[in-house]
Amino acid sequence: MKHIIIGTAGHIDHGKTTLIKALTGRDTDTLREEKERGISINLGFTYFDLPSGKRAGIVDVPGHEKFIKNMLAGVSGIDMVLLVIAADEGIMPQTREHLNILSLLDVKKGIVVITKKDMVDDEWLEVITDDISEYLKGSFLENADMVFVSSVNGDGIGELIEKIDKLSEEVTEKTSDDSFRLPIDRVFTISGFGTVITGTLVNGSVSEGDKIEVYPNNIITKVRSIHVHDQPVKEAYAGQRVAINISNVKVEDIKRGDVAAEAGSMESSMMIDCRLNYLKDAEKPLENRDRVRIYHGTNEVFGRVYLLDKEVLEPGETCLAQIRLEIPLPSQRGDKYVIRAYSPMITIGGGTIIDPYPAKHKRFDKKVIAELSTKEKGNPKDIIEQVIFKNSRNFPNMGSIIKLSGSKETEAGGILAELLEEGKILSFNAGEGICYAHTKFINALSAEITVQLNEFHRTNPLKYGMAKEEVKSRIFESNIRQKLFDDVLAYFQDKKLIKANQKYLSLYNHDITLTPLQQEIKAKLEDIYKSAGINVPNFQEATDKTGKDSNTVKKVFELMIDTGELIKINEEMTIASDIYLKAIDCVRNIVKNEGEVTLAQYRDALNTSRKYAVALLEYFDQHKITKRIGDKRVLY
């Protein structure tokens, strides 16, 4: 079923609340102050059933200029507007400002409702109608239906309901396929139930029991119950006014302007990149770094506008801008926003968010402007490719790509598959799912690794390669997951760029060439350590036996450890690899026959000293070959 949200707009005392009461039979002014003063202060919400059977939610907004903040919160997420103009006054200041706001928020459907027709004669009504029609030229309401009503005697109300019903057929139905998102416009508590949040569900759906997150404070909570139009439901959908009872959250921890959404589906940022349209009736140019009030969803935040492609922004002009905020804002690409001057508080512009999580930009940066232009054009495939390229160093997963690109979850998977098939991106196993990087980034990474390894081989000709951990810290982000790091290295190995063993990396074509002297030393060390068996000499003793220079011997000695020909047990003990394997077989055979092994048993079996037996068993413990239990050991 299509769900419709209708909002009102118009100057104070032009009869918006009275009109809603005539349509629905309900009074949306609920505050004592509202009734005493005869004006709407806060948002009012109700609903009514259309002749076609659709149930329409309706949002009543205040018309007083002091409460524009509340009006902006109310029109967030509406499908159509009733622009209310009193017949006895016509176009007034808040009529103009409300119409500007509606245009900036890209509201496309509406009806012009001329109220208080019973207070003027036909001649005046004709004059005021011409005046209104002339004013609306060029706006989204230029060709809108105009209905004349008297909320007092009901004249014209039936016609208005029919017009609303007809126009509702033209409203594009919101999709429930996207992630759940609810800009919060009210927070209160009900005794025995706890905290309740309300708003217009702008994306997705929500069900009882769902885990949701409230941004920007990242409060994880659970949906206890849901009400739509005062009726309990199990699930609510995009386009409905909803009240959600949430668990284990204090009412003071949430405020109007926060956003409830699917857990992990959003991030908050201190900056947004956007298209900024400056109203032609703005009183003065907008200067770079001007402080403004930003209205997004149900939120009001302060920030400064940084003009990216213009020196100043004249009335009626448009530009690309970065707005740097004073508090974090949760938003998504494609969201609309409005800005008002810091002082005096008048609406001066607004537009569309292009990048909700940008880096800080320099002005007039051609690369930045080109990237924003690509995102603004809105081709999902180009946007996703650009997001992956820009964030490849962090290897984003699908969830991050959806958040950063503002793409729909339903289309992102297909686009990623296309980009993979075209060879524009690559996928890697991060252990907890698949992540992605742009092929250009991986090519640059391979070039960087090649440079680093070439330099290492040049300065360390007898080293097998650079330690993996050193490569990781120099070239990758320090927080890269080990599984992902290993998978990227495996990709480079498959491409025959590098060779790797358990500890080291080298270029694929790297070979160690020993001089005749080094070959001689290597042969002597092999003989020394193989003939020594378990009872090996220490390094200095082995060096003395070769009769060669200590520094030269050390380089060959370390090479043999790197290649695995020698196994370094500790600083005092290094043994030949085949002796090491025999030592492992020995401990395994004892445990197989005895069920366990003691230090004394192992020492005697090896015919060695306690010193060497202890060193080997501790090494086996460290490498999970054996496990110590008291003074005995079993196989790990």
Q: Which helix (H) or strand (E) holds 219?
A: strand 219-228
> What are the tokens at 366?
């051609």
DSSP code at position 329: E
Spatial CB neighbours of 511, under 8 Å, sequence gap ≥ 6: none
C-beta separation of 567 from 622 below 8 A: no
The 10s digit of each residue's pLDDT in 147-188 is: 999 988 999 999 999 999 999 999 887 766 678 999 998 899
Q: Which pLDDT does position 174 carry in this prediction?
A: 73
DSSP code at position 359: P
Closest CA to 132 of 81, 164, 104, 92: 92
What are residue 213's DSSP bridge partners? Answer: 220, 261
Q: Is 10 exposed, middle or buried (0-12, 13-18, 19+ CB in 10 A)?
A: buried
How far, rounded to the nearest angstrom, does the alpha carbon of residue 202 sit from its chain's CA centroid? Answer: 18
C-beta separation of 335 from 282 below 8 A: no
Which residue has tokens 């999709």? 175
Q: Please give the model's pTM, rounded to 2 decimal places.
A: 0.74
Interhelix angle 539-546/516-532, rounded to 10 degrees, is: 120
Bond into 344 cis (ω within 30):
yes
Q: Which pLDDT does position 598 carry in this prediction?
A: 96
- β-pair type (291-296, 347-355): unpaired
Q: Which pLDDT does position 331 carry in this prediction?
A: 93
Q: Which pLDDT does position 27 carry in this prediction?
A: 65
The three-state secondary structure class of 302 is strand
Spatial CB neighbours of 505, under 8 Å, sequence gap ≥ 6: 449, 453, 465, 466, 467, 468, 471, 489, 498, 499
Which residue has tokens 């991050």? 400
Q: Residue 236 and residue 253: Cα distance in Å, rounded? A: 24
Q: Which residues of the chain have pLDDT under 50?
A: 29-42, 63-64, 67
Q: Residue 556 and residue 207: Cα distance in Å, rounded? A: 67
Q: Which pLDDT does position 432 carry in this prediction?
A: 83
Q: Which pLDDT does position 26 carry in this prediction?
A: 74
Q: Residue 196 and residue 242: Cα distance in Å, rounded? A: 10
The 10s digit of each residue's pLDDT in 560-600 is: 998 889 999 999 999 999 999 999 999 999 999 999 999 99
> What are the tokens at 132?
């209104």
Could you tell me the domains of the chain?
4-168 (3.40.50.300), 181-262 (2.40.30.10), 279-370 (2.40.30.10), 379-510 (1.10.10.10), 516-635 (1.10.10.10)
> What are the tokens at 403?
């958040």
Q: Which pLDDT does position 63 carry in this prediction?
A: 47
Spatial CB neighbours of 284, under 8 Å, sequence gap ≥ 6: 315
What are residue 262's DSSP bridge partners? Answer: 212
DSSP code at position 254: -
Spatial CB neighbours of 22, under 8 Å, sequence gap ≥ 6: 149, 151, 154, 157
Q: Residue 590 and residue 588: Cα distance in Å, rounded? A: 5
Q: Which pLDDT does position 176 carry in this prediction?
A: 67
Q: Catalogue the E-assigned strands of 284-383.
A: 286-287, 291-296, 299-307, 312-313, 318-330, 336-341, 347-355
DSSP code at position 249: -
DSSP 50-109: -TTS-EEEEEE---SGGGHHHHHHHHTT-SEEEEEEETTT-S-HHHHHHHHHHHHTT---
> What are the tokens at 356?
């909700």
Which residue has tokens 């063993």? 501
Spatial CB neighbours of 71, under 8 Å, sequence gap ≥ 6: 9, 61, 62, 63, 98, 101
Q: Residue 242 and residue 235: Cα distance in Å, rounded? A: 10
Question: What are the φ and ψ backbone dihedral angles of 326, each rounded to 5 degrees?
Answer: -95, -20
